[in-house]
Chains A and B, each alone.
Chain A
Amino acid sequence: MSNEINGESAAIRVMVVDDHPMVRSGLKALLSAYDDLEFAGEAGNGAEAIRLCDRLNPDVVLMDLVMPEMDGAAATRAIRQKHPQIKVVVLTSFKEDELVQGALQAGAIGYLLKNVSADELARAIRAAYAGRPRLPPRPPRCSFKPRLSPPSAAT
């Protein structure tokens, strides 16, 4: 790991939570490109994220909102309750006020849309780590409703 050159304590340890494997993979690539950021682990849903936080104790969690089993807002609330030192930055494609508010009330410190550049995302992670909130610009109305309840798993 290139980050280790700088000593592990220097890098911000980031956990990635998203139900899409290719999004996790892209974010992993992103984290590997910045010296001061480090990939700490990944989870595909909220429940897994909570378990992983107990074990890995990351500095920052990048959290998707709409996921099967347990959504991002519920996971954020649980993580912040158990580990108040962990900062949660929401990273989603939805920009409805109600989702933004829900995430912030759950304890997220940042809210980013999935159209940010890598540099912006890196800056937001650093800001969150330093305790500075980062919110989305007031967006135009979204043209379709997000699926708030995920499809039920049959198997």
Chain B
Amino acid sequence: MTLLPAELNLTDLFAVIVDAVVACDERQRILLFNKSAEQIFGYTQDEVLSQPLDVLLPERFVEVHRRHFAEFAASPVASRAMGERRPIYARRKNGEEFPAEAAIVKLERAEERLFIVLLRDITQRQRIESELRAQAQQAAVAAERSRLARDLHDAVTQTLFSVSVIADVLPRIWERDPEEGRRRLKELRQLSRGALAEMRTLLLELRPSALMEANLSDLLRQLAASVNSRSGVEVDVQIEGETELSPDVKVSLYRIAQEALNNVAKHSNASHAQIMLTVRPTNNGLAGRQVHLVINDNGCGFDTTISKPTHIGLDIMRERAAAIGAQLDIRSAIGAGTTVHVEAVL
């Protein structure tokens, strides 16, 4: 059965094992308590010999532990990990509870049965894990903040700089050419409205719950104004039908439009884009509604067979569409603009 020499003494082995090893009989009386167990629990072996296992448990678990132990003793299973899904808790001599991982092994010899419990104190590991989790969370928050700062820089500050420069020189321009002055004043109005739309769009990112509360047609108009302000692309918005939609549908459609328009602004070189949202009753006579969202542009387009999806946020759009059971279709070709089409039946 084993290649180990027969003279290997288990007690010697237990003495050097880093896990606590506690052996007990069928009545849960402790028969062996190794060095590591002494260190982890704070008892000496002499203090716990013949004591019930209960002394090593928080009182509230004593009852359920007895039951589990009896079940295991009666079962044909020879070994089992305890608390497979979550850590169990044990109790030190000073009353302190600690999280642990443990396994139990049953040895049967004639009429006698021996149980060996192997237990590892995971206090330290849990602390490190939770620190790592906290760090990861902090890093995510920091990354999100710097993304917002970049967006503010890329968008709003550039627009406001232009606004301030035009406002500075507007009196001079007006004096010399009132027609041009009026044109620049109109530009000022557009730029400041655009900056406002961009601020609102960015504020939505800071408070996503606002996204759930707003009306989709308002959100899409704001998005259009914000993209126009940032990139100069003219964005028309056409809304048809009753656009009061459930929050998850609304958020998904908004995110898809946002991603599509980001591409238009960044990559398309388009002068014009369009957002069309249509909500109408399904034409198969059944109750329910059909939602179409189309975003297209007159830009340079791309070869759909070679463009990497991750580059242009296709993955994000696909995920969003899948989340609400919608069909997403992207058509484009070099020189022929791009159309993103989303269709869902609600």
Instruction: Tell whether, in the assembled complex, residue A25 and residue B311 are in contact, meaning their CB atoms are under 8 Å apart.
Output: no
- Besides the known contacts A93-B158, A114-B158, 13 further A-B residue pairs in the complex with CB atoms under 8 A apart: A20-B162, A25-B162, A26-B161, A32-B173, A114-B157, A118-B168, A121-B165, A154-B267, A154-B308, A154-B312, A155-B268, A155-B299, A155-B301
Instruction: Tell whether, in the assembled complex, residue B149 and residue A26 are in contact, meaning their CB atoms are under 8 Å apart.
Output: no
Inter-chain contacts of B37 with A (CB < 8 A): none
**Among B149, B154, B158: residue with most chain A CB under 10 A:** B158
**Among B153, B157, B307: residue with most chain A CB under 10 A:** B153
Instruction: Tell whether, in the assembled complex, residue A154 and residue B307 are in contact, meaning their CB atoms are under 8 Å apart.
Output: yes
Q: Does A9 contact B (CB under 8 A)?
A: no
Q: Does B318 contact A (CB under 8 A)?
A: no
Q: Does B51 contact A (CB under 8 A)?
A: no
When each residue 122-155 of chain A gets 1 if its CB lies under 8 Å from chain B and 0 otherwise, what string results? 0000000000000000000001111100011111
Inter-chain contacts of B266 with A (CB < 8 A): 151, 153
- Other-chain residue from A2, A22, A25, A114 in contact with B177 (beta carbon distance below 8 A): A2
When each residue 276-303 of chain B gets 1 if its CB lies under 8 Å from chain A and 0 otherwise, what string results? 0000000000000000000000011110
Inter-chain contacts of A26 with B (CB < 8 A): 161-163, 165-166, 191
Inter-chain contacts of B308 with A (CB < 8 A): 154
Q: Which 4 A-B pairs have the closest CB atoms?
A: A26-B162, A118-B168, A154-B311, A33-B169
- Shortest C-beta distance, B235 to chain A (Å), equals 14
Instruction: Tell whether, in the assembled complex, residue A22 and residue B158 are in contact, meaning their CB atoms are under 8 Å apart.
Output: yes
* Chain B count of residues within 8 A CB distance of the other chain: 42
Complex alpha-carbon distance, A22 and B166, angstroms: 11
Instruction: Tell whether, in the assembled complex, residue A144 and residue B146 are in contact, meaning their CB atoms are under 8 Å apart.
Output: yes
Inter-chain contacts of B229 with A (CB < 8 A): 22
Instruction: Tell whether, in the assembled complex, residue B307 and residue A30 are in contact, meaning their CB atoms are under 8 Å apart.
Output: no
Complex alpha-carbon distance, A146 and B173, angstroms: 34
Inter-chain contacts of B307 with A (CB < 8 A): 154-155
Q: Does A49 contact B (CB under 8 A)?
A: no
Inter-chain contacts of B311 with A (CB < 8 A): 152, 154
**Among A2, A114, A145: residue with most chain B CB under 10 A:** A114
Complex alpha-carbon distance, A136 and B172, angstroms: 27
Instruction: Tell whether, in the assembled complex, residue B161 and residue A29 are in contact, meaning their CB atoms are under 8 Å apart.
Output: no
Complex alpha-carbon distance, A22 and B302, angstroms: 26
- Who on chain A is nearest to B262 by CB? A151
B residues contacting A by CB (< 8 A) are 146, 149-150, 153-154, 157-159, 161-166, 168-169, 172-173, 176-177, 180, 184, 187, 191, 194, 229-232, 263, 266-268, 299-302, 307-308, 311-312, 338
Complex alpha-carbon distance, A142 and B302, angstroms: 37
Inter-chain contacts of B231 with A (CB < 8 A): 21
Instruction: Tell whether, in the assembled complex, residue A155 and residue B146 are in contact, meaning their CB atoms are under 8 Å apart.
Output: no
- Shortest C-beta distance, B336 to chain A (Å), equals 12
Instruction: Tell whether, in the assembled complex, residue A30 and residue B161 are in contact, meaning their CB atoms are under 8 Å apart.
Output: no
Instruction: Tell whether, in the assembled complex, residue A22 and residue B301 are in contact, meaning their CB atoms are under 8 Å apart.
Output: no
Inter-chain contacts of B338 with A (CB < 8 A): 155
When each residue 61-96 of chain A gets 1 if its CB lies under 8 Å from chain B and 0 otherwise, what string results? 000000000000000000000000000000001000
Instruction: Tell whether, in the assembled complex, residue B302 and residue A30 are in contact, meaning their CB atoms are under 8 Å apart.
Output: no
Complex alpha-carbon distance, A20 and B198, angstroms: 14
- Who on chain A is nearest to B231 by CB? A21
Complex alpha-carbon distance, A90 and B23, angstroms: 77
User: Restricting to A46-67, which residues have a CB under 8 Å from any CB of B?
Assistant: none
Q: Does A23 contact B (CB under 8 A)?
A: yes
Instruction: Tell whether, in the assembled complex, residue B168 and residue A147 are in contact, meaning their CB atoms are under 8 Å apart.
Output: no
- Shortest C-beta distance, B85 to chain A (Å), equals 42
Inter-chain contacts of A23 with B (CB < 8 A): 158, 161-162
- Other-chain residue from B168, B176, B187, B301 in contact with A2 (beta carbon distance below 8 A): B176
Complex alpha-carbon distance, A2 and B173, angstroms: 10
- Shortest C-beta distance, B190 to chain A (Å), equals 9
User: Restricting to A18-40, which residues have a CB under 8 Å from any CB of B?
Assistant: 20-23, 25-27, 29-30, 32-34
